[in-house]
Amino acid sequence: MADNARAKRLADLIREVVAEKLHRGIKDPRLGTHVTVTDTRVTGDLREATVFYTVYGDDEVRKAAAAGLESAKGVLRTAVGAAAGVKHTPSLTFVADALPENARTIDDLLARAKASDEEVRKASSGADYAGGADPYRKPGEDQQDEDQPDEDE
């Protein structure tokens, strides 16, 4: 079993090689400049590598890019094997990265929270405090209350 540092170095190398090969070496029009490699992870035994990618475009472009990556898997694995120089070239698995969708969801939630805060700010702009501006008793006020007789007496 390989150490984690070696797996990390191999993952970095795979990410660079796959990105470079997608950018310059593969002439598939489904891939082109639409695909960006975001991360790569390698198992501890260096046998399998997962390549995370994002695609700029709509769902149709994403499906075409996924099909293009699957068809180019052998060429990309060959390029990784030539660059890595390891005994066994890891098999590549391509997974669409969910980062852009997560970022879009977070942006939408932040926009909703900002709109809600603005509504609260507008509703409270002319409001007064429930107990006055300073609801706490001051030491001089306690003596005044003791000097005045209770209405019950």
Burial classification of residue 119, based on how many CB atoms lie within 10 Å of its CB (0-12 exposed, 13-18 middle, 19 or more buried): exposed
**Structure tokens, 15:** 């990410």
Q: What is the CA radius of gyration of the chain?
A: 31
In this prediction, what percent of the chain has a pLDDT beyond 70? 88
pLDDT band (50, 70, 90) for residue 4: confident
Please tell me the predicted confidence (pLDDT) of residue 139.
77
DSSP designation for 90: P
pLDDT of 34 over the 80 cut: no
pTM of the model: 0.67
pLDDT of 109 over the 90 cut: yes
Please tell me the predicted confidence (pLDDT) of residue 15.
93
Burial classification of residue 1, based on how many CB atoms lie within 10 Å of its CB (0-12 exposed, 13-18 middle, 19 or more buried): exposed
Q: Buried (b) or exposed (e) across 58-88, using 16+ Cβ within 10 A?
A: eeeebebbbebbeebeeebbebbeebbeeee
How many beta carbons lie within 10 A of that of residue 50, not counting itself? 17
pLDDT of 130 over the 80 cut: no
